[in-house]
Amino acid sequence: MTAGRLNGKIALVTGASRGIGFQLARQLAAEGAHVVAVARTVGGLEELDDLIRKAGGTSTLVPLDLTDMGGIDRLGAAIHQRWGRLDVLVANAGMLGVLSPIGHIEAKLFEKTLAVNVTSTWRLIRSVDPLLRASDAGRAIVVSSGAAHSARAFWGLYSATKAATEAIARSWASETENTALRINVVNPGATRTAMRALAMPGENPDSLPKPAEVAARILPLALADVTETGRLFDVRENRFLSYRAPE
Ligand code: NDP
If you write DSSP's letter for every residue of 104-122 in order, what string do you get? Answer: G--HHHHHHHHIIIIIHHH
3-state secondary structure of 155: coil
Q: Report how far residue 44's alpha carbon sits from residue 95's, in angstroms, rounded to the nearest whole number.
A: 16
CATH number of the domain that residue 182 is part of:
3.40.50.720
Q: Which residues is 38 bridged to in the sheet?
A: 14, 62
**19 Cα: distance to centroid of ligand 1 (angstroms):** 7
pLDDT of residue 3: 76
Q: Which residues line ligand 1 (CB under 6 A)?
A: 15-21, 39-41, 44, 65-67, 92-95, 116, 143, 145, 188, 190-191, 193-196
Residue 247 pLDDT level (bands cut at 50, 70, 90) = low
Q: In what order do the strands lie in the sheet with 182-187?
A: 58-63, 34-39, 10-14, 88-91, 139-143, 182-187, 231-234, 239-241
Would residue 247 count as lying in a domain? no
Q: Which among 24, 31, 10, 228 has a CA at the least distance from the CA of 134? A: 10
Which amino acid residue places its CA nearest to atom 12 of ligand 1?
15
The mean per-residue pLDDT over the stretch 17-46 comes to: 98
pLDDT of residue 243: 80
| Residue tagged active-site, from 158, 184, 192, 221 | 158
Which atom of ligand 1 lies closest to the CA of 40?
Answer: 48
The mean per-residue pLDDT over the stretch 77-103 comes to: 98
Would residue 103 count as lying in a domain? yes
Cα 6 from chain centre: 18
Q: Residue 135: what are its φ and ψ, rounded to 5°?
A: -80, 155
Does the predicted TM-score (pTM) go above 0.95? yes
Q: What is the CA radius of gyration of the chain?
A: 17
pLDDT over 80 at 1, yes or no: no
Q: Which among 96, 101, 97, 172 has a CA at the least distance from the CA of 139? A: 172
Residue 146 pLDDT level (bands cut at 50, 70, 90) = very high
Q: Report how far residue 17's alpha carbon sits from residue 43's, in angstroms, rounded to the nearest whole number.
A: 8
pLDDT over 80 at 244, yes or no: no
Residue 107 pLDDT level (bands cut at 50, 70, 90) = very high
Q: What is the extent of the structural domain holding 106?
A: 10-241
Q: Specify the number of domains making up the chain.
A: 1
Which atom of ligand 1 lies closest to the CA of 15?
Answer: 9
Q: Candidates 38, 40, 141, 149: which one to mutate for ligand 1, based on the most atoms within 8 Å of Cβ?
A: 40
Would residue 5 count as lying in a domain? no
pLDDT, mean over the chain = 97
Would residue 158 count as lying in a domain? yes
- First and final CA of the chain: distance in angstroms? 51
The mean per-residue pLDDT over the stretch 55-71 comes to: 98
pLDDT over 90 at 172, yes or no: yes
Would residue 246 count as lying in a domain? no
Is 158 an active-site residue? yes
Would residue 141 count as lying in a domain? yes
pLDDT of residue 245: 62
pLDDT tens by residue, 218-236: 999 999 999 999 999 999 9
